[in-house]
Amino acid sequence: MSRVRHRRATRALIRTPENRILLFLSHFPPGSGLEPQWVFPGGGLEENETPIDGILREIYEETGLSISPGDLVDLETVIQHPIPDTREYDTGEAHFFELLVAQSFEPSSQFWTDDEHRDTVMHRWWSLEEILAEQPWIGPEGAIELLTLRLRG
């Protein structure tokens, strides 16, 4: 019997007052054969790392922003989801936080890991209307619904 490999992650809904959302277009690990997908800034939690500590680390690594826990809103949402055939994990969970920024900005890649340099294609500031009209592949499953509820109430 094979063991189910589960990935704990944390994600940030980084938005401007005009509700433009930062997403990264990212490749899956080499060999997966999957097309890139759009993802919220964030990533896997390290062993014994709390979701809040993980998102503070990930926001810094992926954008260059140094923030404090008080800058974040815990959306108290954890999306349980299957993980496409990455050969590393079977299932995952993503803890979501929100960060309001004054305006869109150019994320810094200075602190990216080697995998992030390999996998990140581009970033884009999206409006909810653009997301709903263009229907990009945004992971994890359920993230678009969370975004819609958060921005439309």
Regarding pTM above 0.85, the answer is yes
SS3 assignment, position 105:
coil
In terms of Cβ atoms closer than 10 Å to its own Cβ (0-12, 13-18, 19+), residue 129 is exposed
Q: Which two tokens stand for residue 66?
A: 């140094």
Q: pLDDT > 90: what percent of the chain?
A: 67
pLDDT of residue 52: 97
Domain ranges of the chain: 6-152
Q: Which of 88, 90, 81, 82 is nearest to 32 (CA)?
A: 88
Q: How confident is the model at residue 153 (pLDDT cuts 50, 70, 90)?
A: confident
Specify the CATH architecture of the domain 6-152: Alpha-Beta Complex (3.90)
* pLDDT tens, residue by residue, 16-42: 999 999 999 998 777 767 788 999 999
